[in-house]
Chain A
Amino acid sequence: MTKRQAIPYVFLTPVMLFGVVFFVLPIGFAFYLTFTNFQAFVPHRGVGLLNYKYLLARDPFFFQTMRNTAVFALGSLALEIPIALIVAYTISKSRFRAFWRSIYWLPMATNVVAIAFVWKFLLDGPTGLLNRILDVFGLPGPGWLTDPKFAMLSVILVFVWMTLGSNMLLLSAGMEGIDESSYEAARMDGANTFHILTRVAIPLLKPTLLFVMTTDLIVCLSSFPLMLVLTEGGPAQTTTVTALYMYQMAFANLRLGRASAAAFILFLLILAVTMLQLRLFRRGGIDAY
Protein backbone atom coordinates (compact mmCIF):
# COMPACT_ATOMS: atom_id res chain seq x y z
CA MET A 1 0.00 0.00 0.00
CA THR A 2 1.41 3.38 -0.98
CA LYS A 3 1.49 6.34 1.35
CA ARG A 4 -1.22 7.97 -0.72
CA GLN A 5 -3.47 4.93 -0.41
CA ALA A 6 -2.88 4.73 3.34
CA ILE A 7 -3.80 8.33 4.11
CA PRO A 8 -7.62 7.84 4.02
CA TYR A 9 -7.33 4.97 6.46
CA VAL A 10 -5.24 7.12 8.81
CA PHE A 11 -7.99 9.73 8.84
CA LEU A 12 -10.63 7.05 9.26
CA THR A 13 -8.84 5.37 12.15
CA PRO A 14 -10.41 7.43 14.99
CA VAL A 15 -13.92 6.76 13.68
CA MET A 16 -13.18 3.09 13.12
CA LEU A 17 -11.70 2.79 16.60
CA PHE A 18 -14.81 4.41 18.03
CA GLY A 19 -16.95 1.96 16.09
CA VAL A 20 -14.94 -1.02 17.26
CA VAL A 21 -14.95 0.04 20.93
CA PHE A 22 -18.56 1.16 21.18
CA PHE A 23 -20.26 -1.01 18.56
CA VAL A 24 -18.38 -4.12 17.48
CA LEU A 25 -16.98 -5.11 20.88
CA PRO A 26 -20.27 -4.72 22.82
CA ILE A 27 -22.17 -6.65 20.14
CA GLY A 28 -19.50 -9.33 20.11
CA PHE A 29 -19.58 -9.56 23.90
CA ALA A 30 -23.38 -9.69 23.91
CA PHE A 31 -23.25 -12.50 21.36
CA TYR A 32 -20.77 -14.35 23.55
CA LEU A 33 -23.12 -13.86 26.53
CA THR A 34 -25.92 -15.62 24.68
CA PHE A 35 -23.97 -18.87 25.07
CA THR A 36 -23.44 -18.44 28.83
CA ASN A 37 -25.67 -18.53 31.88
CA PHE A 38 -24.36 -15.06 32.75
CA GLN A 39 -26.38 -13.69 35.65
CA ALA A 40 -25.52 -11.28 38.38
CA PHE A 41 -23.61 -12.47 41.45
CA VAL A 42 -23.05 -15.99 40.11
CA PRO A 43 -19.91 -17.21 38.30
CA HIS A 44 -20.96 -17.87 34.72
CA ARG A 45 -20.27 -20.85 32.50
CA GLY A 46 -20.92 -21.83 28.92
CA VAL A 47 -24.35 -23.34 28.27
CA GLY A 48 -24.28 -23.69 24.50
CA LEU A 49 -27.67 -23.00 22.93
CA LEU A 50 -29.59 -23.42 26.18
CA ASN A 51 -30.69 -19.76 26.37
CA TYR A 52 -32.13 -19.93 22.86
CA LYS A 53 -33.78 -23.27 23.59
CA TYR A 54 -35.29 -21.92 26.81
CA LEU A 55 -36.71 -18.84 25.12
CA LEU A 56 -38.10 -20.72 22.15
CA ALA A 57 -39.35 -23.83 23.92
CA ARG A 58 -39.87 -23.26 27.65
CA ASP A 59 -40.22 -19.59 28.49
CA PRO A 60 -43.89 -19.08 29.41
CA PHE A 61 -44.01 -15.46 28.25
CA PHE A 62 -41.58 -15.05 25.34
CA PHE A 63 -43.99 -15.90 22.51
CA GLN A 64 -46.72 -13.82 24.06
CA THR A 65 -44.36 -10.84 24.05
CA MET A 66 -43.51 -11.56 20.38
CA ARG A 67 -47.21 -11.55 19.59
CA ASN A 68 -47.63 -8.30 21.51
CA THR A 69 -44.71 -6.81 19.58
CA ALA A 70 -46.27 -7.81 16.25
CA VAL A 71 -49.66 -6.36 17.23
CA PHE A 72 -48.06 -3.15 18.43
CA ALA A 73 -45.89 -2.73 15.32
CA LEU A 74 -48.58 -3.57 12.78
CA GLY A 75 -51.24 -1.59 14.64
CA SER A 76 -49.02 1.45 14.90
CA LEU A 77 -47.96 1.33 11.24
CA ALA A 78 -51.50 0.77 10.04
CA LEU A 79 -52.63 3.94 11.80
CA GLU A 80 -49.66 6.27 11.75
CA ILE A 81 -48.73 6.13 8.05
CA PRO A 82 -52.20 6.93 6.62
CA ILE A 83 -52.84 9.60 9.25
CA ALA A 84 -49.42 11.19 8.70
CA LEU A 85 -49.98 11.09 4.95
CA ILE A 86 -53.36 12.81 5.17
CA VAL A 87 -52.05 15.42 7.59
CA ALA A 88 -48.95 16.05 5.45
CA TYR A 89 -51.04 16.38 2.29
CA THR A 90 -53.55 18.68 3.95
CA ILE A 91 -50.79 20.88 5.34
CA SER A 92 -49.01 21.00 1.99
CA LYS A 93 -52.18 22.48 0.49
CA SER A 94 -52.89 24.93 3.32
CA ARG A 95 -51.69 28.37 4.34
CA PHE A 96 -49.27 28.83 7.29
CA ARG A 97 -47.61 25.47 6.56
CA ALA A 98 -44.66 26.14 8.87
CA PHE A 99 -47.04 26.90 11.74
CA TRP A 100 -49.06 23.70 11.30
CA ARG A 101 -45.95 21.58 10.91
CA SER A 102 -44.56 23.03 14.15
CA ILE A 103 -47.79 22.28 15.99
CA TYR A 104 -47.90 18.67 14.81
CA TRP A 105 -44.22 18.20 15.47
CA LEU A 106 -44.44 19.47 19.08
CA PRO A 107 -44.98 16.03 20.72
CA MET A 108 -41.61 14.99 19.29
CA ALA A 109 -39.96 17.67 21.40
CA THR A 110 -41.54 16.22 24.54
CA ASN A 111 -39.99 13.48 26.63
CA VAL A 112 -41.68 10.09 26.36
CA VAL A 113 -41.99 9.90 30.17
CA ALA A 114 -43.89 13.20 30.29
CA ILE A 115 -46.12 12.07 27.43
CA ALA A 116 -46.87 8.79 29.20
CA PHE A 117 -47.77 10.53 32.46
CA VAL A 118 -50.10 13.02 30.74
CA TRP A 119 -51.87 10.20 28.88
CA LYS A 120 -52.10 8.16 32.06
CA PHE A 121 -54.30 10.90 33.50
CA LEU A 122 -56.28 11.36 30.29
CA LEU A 123 -56.98 7.63 29.93
CA ASP A 124 -57.72 6.86 33.58
CA GLY A 125 -60.84 4.72 33.99
CA PRO A 126 -63.31 6.59 36.19
CA THR A 127 -61.69 10.05 36.28
CA GLY A 128 -59.86 10.38 32.94
CA LEU A 129 -60.83 13.16 30.56
CA LEU A 130 -61.55 10.77 27.69
CA ASN A 131 -64.12 8.78 29.65
CA ARG A 132 -65.65 11.95 31.02
CA ILE A 133 -66.16 13.19 27.46
CA LEU A 134 -67.62 9.83 26.40
CA ASP A 135 -69.92 10.00 29.39
CA VAL A 136 -71.28 13.36 28.28
CA PHE A 137 -72.48 11.63 25.11
CA GLY A 138 -73.84 8.70 27.08
CA LEU A 139 -71.17 6.36 25.74
CA PRO A 140 -69.49 3.63 27.80
CA GLY A 141 -65.91 4.18 28.82
CA PRO A 142 -63.60 1.23 29.33
CA GLY A 143 -60.55 1.05 31.56
CA TRP A 144 -58.26 2.13 28.73
CA LEU A 145 -55.09 1.12 30.53
CA THR A 146 -56.42 -1.48 32.95
CA ASP A 147 -58.67 -3.61 30.75
CA PRO A 148 -56.67 -6.32 28.94
CA LYS A 149 -58.85 -5.84 25.86
CA PHE A 150 -58.09 -2.13 25.52
CA ALA A 151 -54.60 -1.66 26.97
CA MET A 152 -52.66 -2.41 23.77
CA LEU A 153 -55.00 -0.28 21.68
CA SER A 154 -54.40 2.62 24.09
CA VAL A 155 -50.64 2.21 23.87
CA ILE A 156 -50.83 2.17 20.06
CA LEU A 157 -52.96 5.32 19.97
CA VAL A 158 -50.59 7.20 22.26
CA PHE A 159 -47.61 6.02 20.20
CA VAL A 160 -49.27 7.15 16.97
CA TRP A 161 -49.99 10.54 18.51
CA MET A 162 -46.41 10.77 19.72
CA THR A 163 -44.78 9.92 16.38
CA LEU A 164 -47.25 11.60 14.03
CA GLY A 165 -45.17 14.80 13.84
CA SER A 166 -42.00 13.15 12.68
CA ASN A 167 -43.74 11.06 10.01
CA MET A 168 -45.74 14.05 8.85
CA LEU A 169 -42.53 16.08 8.54
CA LEU A 170 -40.76 13.42 6.46
CA LEU A 171 -43.76 12.93 4.20
CA SER A 172 -44.17 16.72 3.86
CA ALA A 173 -40.56 16.95 2.74
CA GLY A 174 -41.25 14.21 0.21
CA MET A 175 -44.31 16.05 -1.05
CA GLU A 176 -42.37 19.29 -1.43
CA GLY A 177 -40.09 17.37 -3.78
CA ILE A 178 -42.96 16.47 -6.12
CA ASP A 179 -43.10 18.79 -9.09
CA GLU A 180 -46.22 20.98 -8.98
CA SER A 181 -46.71 20.34 -12.70
CA SER A 182 -47.67 16.72 -11.90
CA TYR A 183 -50.62 17.98 -9.86
CA GLU A 184 -51.54 20.53 -12.52
CA ALA A 185 -51.52 17.87 -15.24
CA ALA A 186 -53.76 15.67 -13.11
CA ARG A 187 -56.17 18.53 -12.46
CA MET A 188 -56.32 19.33 -16.18
CA ASP A 189 -57.22 15.70 -16.75
CA GLY A 190 -60.13 16.15 -14.34
CA ALA A 191 -58.70 14.49 -11.21
CA ASN A 192 -60.21 15.54 -7.88
CA THR A 193 -58.30 15.91 -4.57
CA PHE A 194 -58.72 12.26 -3.64
CA HIS A 195 -57.48 11.12 -7.03
CA ILE A 196 -54.52 13.48 -6.88
CA LEU A 197 -53.56 12.09 -3.46
CA THR A 198 -53.97 8.43 -4.35
CA ARG A 199 -52.93 8.41 -8.02
CA VAL A 200 -50.26 11.13 -8.08
CA ALA A 201 -48.91 12.00 -4.65
CA ILE A 202 -48.67 8.51 -3.13
CA PRO A 203 -46.98 6.81 -6.13
CA LEU A 204 -44.45 9.63 -6.35
CA LEU A 205 -43.90 9.40 -2.58
CA LYS A 206 -42.94 5.73 -2.67
CA PRO A 207 -39.25 6.29 -1.80
CA THR A 208 -40.23 8.47 1.18
CA LEU A 209 -42.93 6.02 2.21
CA LEU A 210 -40.43 3.18 2.08
CA PHE A 211 -38.06 5.11 4.29
CA VAL A 212 -40.80 6.08 6.77
CA MET A 213 -42.25 2.57 6.92
CA THR A 214 -38.89 0.89 7.32
CA THR A 215 -37.62 3.19 10.06
CA ASP A 216 -41.02 3.18 11.82
CA LEU A 217 -41.18 -0.60 11.76
CA ILE A 218 -37.71 -0.88 13.25
CA VAL A 219 -38.65 1.65 15.95
CA CYS A 220 -41.94 -0.16 16.68
CA LEU A 221 -40.31 -3.57 16.95
CA SER A 222 -37.64 -2.37 19.34
CA SER A 223 -39.47 0.33 21.31
CA PHE A 224 -40.53 -0.09 24.93
CA PRO A 225 -40.14 3.11 27.04
CA LEU A 226 -43.75 4.14 26.41
CA MET A 227 -45.07 0.80 27.72
CA LEU A 228 -42.66 0.88 30.62
CA VAL A 229 -44.05 4.16 31.90
CA LEU A 230 -47.65 4.02 30.69
CA THR A 231 -48.64 0.48 31.69
CA GLU A 232 -45.47 -1.19 33.01
CA GLY A 233 -46.30 -3.93 30.53
CA GLY A 234 -49.64 -4.70 32.17
CA PRO A 235 -52.38 -5.54 32.78
CA ALA A 236 -51.30 -9.18 32.94
CA GLN A 237 -48.48 -8.55 30.45
CA THR A 238 -50.87 -7.64 27.64
CA THR A 239 -48.64 -4.69 26.72
CA THR A 240 -45.29 -6.34 27.41
CA VAL A 241 -43.44 -6.28 24.10
CA THR A 242 -40.29 -8.35 23.58
CA ALA A 243 -37.96 -5.38 24.07
CA LEU A 244 -39.58 -4.61 27.44
CA TYR A 245 -39.49 -8.28 28.45
CA MET A 246 -35.82 -8.38 27.51
CA TYR A 247 -35.17 -5.27 29.60
CA GLN A 248 -36.94 -6.85 32.59
CA MET A 249 -35.01 -10.08 32.08
CA ALA A 250 -31.68 -8.25 32.07
CA PHE A 251 -32.17 -5.50 34.62
CA ALA A 252 -34.85 -6.76 37.00
CA ASN A 253 -34.08 -10.47 37.00
CA LEU A 254 -30.39 -9.96 36.16
CA ARG A 255 -30.34 -12.77 33.59
CA LEU A 256 -27.97 -11.13 31.18
CA GLY A 257 -27.16 -14.26 29.12
CA ARG A 258 -30.80 -15.05 28.44
CA ALA A 259 -31.65 -11.40 27.76
CA SER A 260 -28.80 -11.21 25.23
CA ALA A 261 -30.19 -14.27 23.46
CA ALA A 262 -33.63 -12.60 23.38
CA ALA A 263 -31.99 -9.48 21.91
CA PHE A 264 -30.43 -11.50 19.09
CA ILE A 265 -33.71 -13.27 18.34
CA LEU A 266 -35.42 -9.87 18.18
CA PHE A 267 -32.61 -8.58 15.96
CA LEU A 268 -33.07 -11.47 13.53
CA LEU A 269 -36.80 -10.84 13.47
CA ILE A 270 -36.33 -7.14 12.73
CA LEU A 271 -33.76 -7.94 10.04
CA ALA A 272 -36.05 -10.48 8.35
CA VAL A 273 -39.08 -8.16 8.40
CA THR A 274 -37.06 -5.22 7.12
CA MET A 275 -35.57 -7.26 4.27
CA LEU A 276 -39.02 -8.47 3.33
CA GLN A 277 -40.35 -4.94 3.42
CA LEU A 278 -37.54 -3.64 1.24
CA ARG A 279 -38.07 -6.46 -1.24
CA LEU A 280 -41.80 -5.81 -1.51
CA PHE A 281 -41.52 -2.06 -1.84
CA ARG A 282 -38.66 -2.05 -4.31
CA ARG A 283 -40.93 -3.68 -6.80
CA GLY A 284 -42.30 -1.13 -9.23
CA GLY A 285 -39.34 0.91 -10.31
CA ILE A 286 -37.84 2.42 -7.23
CA ASP A 287 -34.80 0.20 -7.10
CA ALA A 288 -32.67 3.24 -7.47
CA TYR A 289 -33.76 4.48 -4.06
Chain B
Amino acid sequence: MTRKYTATELLASVAAGLLEDNSSVFVGTGLPMIASMLAQRTHAPNLLIIFEAGGIGPQVPVLPISVGDSRTFYRAVSASSMHDVMSASQAGYVDYGFLGAAQIDAYGNLNTTVIGAWDHPTVRFPGSGGANDVGSLCWRTIIVMRQDPRRFVEKLDFLTTPGYLDGPGAREAAGLPAGTGPYRVITQLGLFDFDEATKRMRLLAAHPGVSVRDIEEATSFELIVPDRVDTTEPPTDAALSAMRDIDPTGMVIGK
Protein backbone atom coordinates (compact mmCIF):
# COMPACT_ATOMS: atom_id res chain seq x y z
CA MET B 1 0.00 0.00 0.00
CA THR B 2 1.58 3.23 -1.10
CA ARG B 3 0.90 6.56 0.52
CA LYS B 4 -1.36 9.15 -1.04
CA TYR B 5 0.43 11.23 -3.66
CA THR B 6 -0.26 14.34 -5.72
CA ALA B 7 -0.46 14.42 -9.54
CA THR B 8 2.78 16.40 -9.57
CA GLU B 9 4.55 13.79 -7.44
CA LEU B 10 3.46 11.07 -9.85
CA LEU B 11 4.70 13.08 -12.84
CA ALA B 12 8.01 13.78 -11.17
CA SER B 13 8.58 10.16 -10.21
CA VAL B 14 7.73 8.89 -13.72
CA ALA B 15 10.07 11.54 -15.18
CA ALA B 16 12.85 10.65 -12.73
CA GLY B 17 12.56 7.00 -13.78
CA LEU B 18 13.51 7.92 -17.36
CA LEU B 19 16.90 9.28 -16.34
CA GLU B 20 19.74 6.77 -16.15
CA ASP B 21 22.75 7.03 -13.89
CA ASN B 22 25.86 8.56 -15.52
CA SER B 23 23.80 10.41 -18.10
CA SER B 24 23.52 14.19 -18.47
CA VAL B 25 20.36 16.26 -18.27
CA PHE B 26 19.59 19.89 -19.06
CA VAL B 27 17.10 21.03 -16.44
CA GLY B 28 14.53 23.83 -16.39
CA THR B 29 12.57 25.45 -13.56
CA GLY B 30 9.97 23.55 -11.56
CA LEU B 31 9.03 19.93 -12.09
CA PRO B 32 12.16 19.01 -14.13
CA MET B 33 14.24 20.09 -11.16
CA ILE B 34 12.28 17.84 -8.79
CA ALA B 35 12.55 14.90 -11.21
CA SER B 36 16.30 15.30 -11.69
CA MET B 37 16.99 15.79 -7.99
CA LEU B 38 14.84 12.76 -7.20
CA ALA B 39 16.73 10.62 -9.74
CA GLN B 40 20.02 11.80 -8.25
CA ARG B 41 18.87 10.86 -4.73
CA THR B 42 17.55 7.44 -5.75
CA HIS B 43 18.78 5.37 -8.70
CA ALA B 44 21.07 7.87 -10.45
CA PRO B 45 23.56 9.37 -7.93
CA ASN B 46 25.93 10.32 -10.75
CA LEU B 47 23.30 12.04 -12.89
CA LEU B 48 25.05 15.07 -14.40
CA ILE B 49 22.62 17.98 -13.93
CA ILE B 50 23.20 21.02 -16.14
CA PHE B 51 21.49 24.41 -15.77
CA GLU B 52 21.35 26.95 -18.59
CA ALA B 53 22.83 29.82 -16.57
CA GLY B 54 26.03 27.81 -16.04
CA GLY B 55 25.61 25.42 -13.09
CA ILE B 56 27.26 22.09 -14.00
CA GLY B 57 27.05 18.92 -11.91
CA PRO B 58 25.62 20.38 -8.68
CA GLN B 59 24.38 18.41 -5.69
CA VAL B 60 21.32 20.61 -5.36
CA PRO B 61 20.47 20.95 -1.64
CA VAL B 62 16.89 22.19 -1.90
CA LEU B 63 14.61 23.12 -4.79
CA PRO B 64 15.94 26.21 -6.61
CA ILE B 65 13.39 28.89 -7.56
CA SER B 66 15.32 29.77 -10.70
CA VAL B 67 17.70 28.05 -13.12
CA GLY B 68 20.27 30.68 -12.12
CA ASP B 69 19.71 30.37 -8.34
CA SER B 70 22.84 29.74 -6.20
CA ARG B 71 21.39 26.29 -5.46
CA THR B 72 22.03 25.38 -9.13
CA PHE B 73 25.78 25.43 -8.56
CA TYR B 74 25.84 24.23 -4.94
CA ARG B 75 28.66 21.68 -4.57
CA ALA B 76 28.86 21.72 -8.40
CA VAL B 77 31.83 20.57 -10.43
CA SER B 78 31.78 23.91 -12.25
CA ALA B 79 30.12 27.32 -11.95
CA SER B 80 30.35 28.19 -15.59
CA SER B 81 28.40 30.20 -18.17
CA MET B 82 25.55 30.03 -20.65
CA HIS B 83 27.98 29.97 -23.56
CA ASP B 84 29.69 26.94 -22.03
CA VAL B 85 26.58 24.84 -21.36
CA MET B 86 24.85 25.75 -24.62
CA SER B 87 28.05 24.89 -26.49
CA ALA B 88 28.28 21.56 -24.65
CA SER B 89 24.69 20.86 -25.77
CA GLN B 90 25.50 21.82 -29.36
CA ALA B 91 28.59 19.56 -29.28
CA GLY B 92 26.55 16.53 -28.18
CA TYR B 93 27.38 16.22 -24.47
CA VAL B 94 23.81 16.49 -23.21
CA ASP B 95 21.67 13.34 -23.28
CA TYR B 96 18.35 14.60 -21.98
CA GLY B 97 16.56 17.92 -21.97
CA PHE B 98 13.44 18.65 -19.97
CA LEU B 99 10.77 21.01 -21.28
CA GLY B 100 7.31 22.23 -20.41
CA ALA B 101 4.87 23.96 -22.80
CA ALA B 102 1.52 25.67 -23.19
CA GLN B 103 0.72 23.65 -26.35
CA ILE B 104 2.07 20.51 -28.03
CA ASP B 105 1.16 18.88 -31.35
CA ALA B 106 1.33 15.27 -32.58
CA TYR B 107 5.00 15.65 -33.61
CA GLY B 108 6.08 17.00 -30.24
CA ASN B 109 6.49 20.59 -31.46
CA LEU B 110 5.98 23.07 -28.62
CA ASN B 111 4.50 26.52 -28.10
CA THR B 112 5.59 28.75 -25.21
CA THR B 113 5.27 32.09 -27.05
CA VAL B 114 1.70 33.23 -27.72
CA ILE B 115 -1.94 32.24 -27.89
CA GLY B 116 -3.57 34.05 -30.81
CA ALA B 117 -1.71 35.99 -33.48
CA TRP B 118 1.94 36.75 -32.76
CA ASP B 119 1.63 40.50 -33.36
CA HIS B 120 -1.73 40.77 -31.53
CA PRO B 121 -1.61 38.01 -28.94
CA THR B 122 -4.56 37.04 -26.77
CA VAL B 123 -2.04 35.73 -24.24
CA ARG B 124 1.65 36.50 -24.28
CA PHE B 125 3.82 33.75 -22.73
CA PRO B 126 7.53 34.17 -21.89
CA GLY B 127 8.86 32.90 -25.25
CA SER B 128 11.54 30.36 -26.01
CA GLY B 129 13.93 30.99 -23.15
CA GLY B 130 16.27 28.03 -23.41
CA ALA B 131 13.51 25.73 -24.70
CA ASN B 132 14.30 26.02 -28.40
CA ASP B 133 17.99 25.39 -27.63
CA VAL B 134 17.23 22.33 -25.51
CA GLY B 135 14.74 20.97 -28.07
CA SER B 136 17.25 21.60 -30.88
CA LEU B 137 20.48 20.40 -29.29
CA CYS B 138 19.94 17.73 -26.62
CA TRP B 139 19.84 14.12 -27.80
CA ARG B 140 16.48 13.29 -26.25
CA THR B 141 13.84 15.75 -25.13
CA ILE B 142 11.38 14.91 -22.36
CA ILE B 143 8.26 17.08 -22.22
CA VAL B 144 6.29 17.46 -19.03
CA MET B 145 2.98 19.31 -19.21
CA ARG B 146 -0.73 19.31 -18.44
CA GLN B 147 -2.92 17.50 -20.92
CA ASP B 148 -6.28 18.78 -22.15
CA PRO B 149 -7.79 19.40 -25.59
CA ARG B 150 -6.60 23.04 -25.67
CA ARG B 151 -3.04 22.01 -24.93
CA PHE B 152 -2.76 18.82 -27.04
CA VAL B 153 -3.63 20.49 -30.33
CA GLU B 154 -3.75 19.68 -34.04
CA LYS B 155 -2.07 22.99 -34.89
CA LEU B 156 0.05 25.16 -32.61
CA ASP B 157 -0.60 28.91 -32.42
CA PHE B 158 3.20 29.33 -32.63
CA LEU B 159 5.98 26.79 -33.11
CA THR B 160 8.52 27.90 -30.50
CA THR B 161 10.56 24.72 -30.10
CA PRO B 162 11.09 21.96 -32.66
CA GLY B 163 9.78 18.48 -32.13
CA TYR B 164 9.78 16.31 -35.25
CA LEU B 165 8.40 19.34 -37.20
CA ASP B 166 6.18 17.76 -39.87
CA GLY B 167 7.40 14.18 -39.74
CA PRO B 168 10.28 11.79 -40.47
CA GLY B 169 13.49 13.44 -41.71
CA ALA B 170 12.17 16.99 -41.20
CA ARG B 171 14.59 17.88 -38.38
CA GLU B 172 17.63 16.84 -40.38
CA ALA B 173 16.30 18.63 -43.49
CA ALA B 174 15.94 21.81 -41.42
CA GLY B 175 19.57 21.51 -40.31
CA LEU B 176 18.97 20.37 -36.74
CA PRO B 177 21.55 17.95 -35.30
CA ALA B 178 21.04 14.39 -36.56
CA GLY B 179 19.51 11.82 -34.26
CA THR B 180 17.85 14.28 -31.88
CA GLY B 181 14.21 14.90 -31.01
CA PRO B 182 11.38 14.36 -28.55
CA TYR B 183 11.67 11.15 -26.54
CA ARG B 184 8.84 11.06 -24.02
CA VAL B 185 5.86 13.18 -23.01
CA ILE B 186 4.54 12.94 -19.47
CA THR B 187 1.20 14.41 -18.42
CA GLN B 188 -1.19 14.04 -15.49
CA LEU B 189 -2.90 11.30 -17.52
CA GLY B 190 -0.13 9.18 -18.95
CA LEU B 191 3.22 8.56 -20.60
CA PHE B 192 3.81 8.86 -24.36
CA ASP B 193 6.57 8.23 -26.89
CA PHE B 194 6.85 8.77 -30.66
CA ASP B 195 6.24 6.16 -33.34
CA GLU B 196 9.49 5.41 -35.22
CA ALA B 197 7.89 5.33 -38.67
CA THR B 198 5.63 8.41 -38.51
CA LYS B 199 7.24 10.39 -35.63
CA ARG B 200 3.72 10.93 -34.25
CA MET B 201 2.89 10.70 -30.57
CA ARG B 202 1.94 7.29 -29.23
CA LEU B 203 0.46 6.31 -25.89
CA LEU B 204 2.83 4.15 -23.84
CA ALA B 205 1.16 3.95 -20.45
CA ALA B 206 -1.80 5.38 -18.56
CA HIS B 207 -1.52 6.49 -14.96
CA PRO B 208 -3.36 4.40 -12.34
CA GLY B 209 -7.11 4.97 -12.61
CA VAL B 210 -6.92 6.69 -16.02
CA SER B 211 -8.56 5.06 -19.06
CA VAL B 212 -7.44 5.21 -22.69
CA ARG B 213 -10.69 7.00 -23.39
CA ASP B 214 -9.89 9.71 -20.82
CA ILE B 215 -6.61 10.26 -22.62
CA GLU B 216 -8.13 10.37 -26.09
CA GLU B 217 -10.75 12.85 -24.92
CA ALA B 218 -7.99 15.12 -23.65
CA THR B 219 -6.21 15.06 -27.03
CA SER B 220 -7.27 17.13 -30.05
CA PHE B 221 -5.05 15.26 -32.54
CA GLU B 222 -5.15 11.63 -33.54
CA LEU B 223 -3.11 9.75 -30.99
CA ILE B 224 -1.54 6.38 -31.80
CA VAL B 225 -2.90 3.88 -29.32
CA PRO B 226 -1.22 0.45 -29.44
CA ASP B 227 -2.97 -2.80 -28.53
CA ARG B 228 -1.12 -2.99 -25.26
CA VAL B 229 -1.07 0.03 -22.95
CA ASP B 230 0.84 -0.28 -19.65
CA THR B 231 -0.01 1.34 -16.36
CA THR B 232 2.62 3.60 -14.81
CA GLU B 233 4.07 2.75 -11.42
CA PRO B 234 2.95 5.05 -8.62
CA PRO B 235 5.74 6.72 -6.64
CA THR B 236 7.28 4.60 -3.90
CA ASP B 237 7.27 5.72 -0.27
CA ALA B 238 11.01 6.38 -0.56
CA ALA B 239 10.45 8.59 -3.60
CA LEU B 240 7.66 10.50 -1.86
CA SER B 241 9.85 11.12 1.18
CA ALA B 242 12.71 12.25 -1.04
CA MET B 243 10.45 14.69 -2.90
CA ARG B 244 9.15 16.25 0.32
CA ASP B 245 12.77 16.68 1.38
CA ILE B 246 13.65 18.30 -1.97
CA ASP B 247 10.67 20.65 -1.91
CA PRO B 248 9.92 21.18 1.80
CA THR B 249 7.73 24.25 1.18
CA GLY B 250 5.63 22.46 -1.46
CA MET B 251 6.54 25.07 -4.06
CA VAL B 252 6.13 22.65 -6.97
CA ILE B 253 4.75 19.40 -5.56
CA GLY B 254 2.01 21.15 -3.61
CA LYS B 255 0.86 20.21 -0.12
Do the two chains bind? no
A residues lining the B interface (CB < 8 Å): none
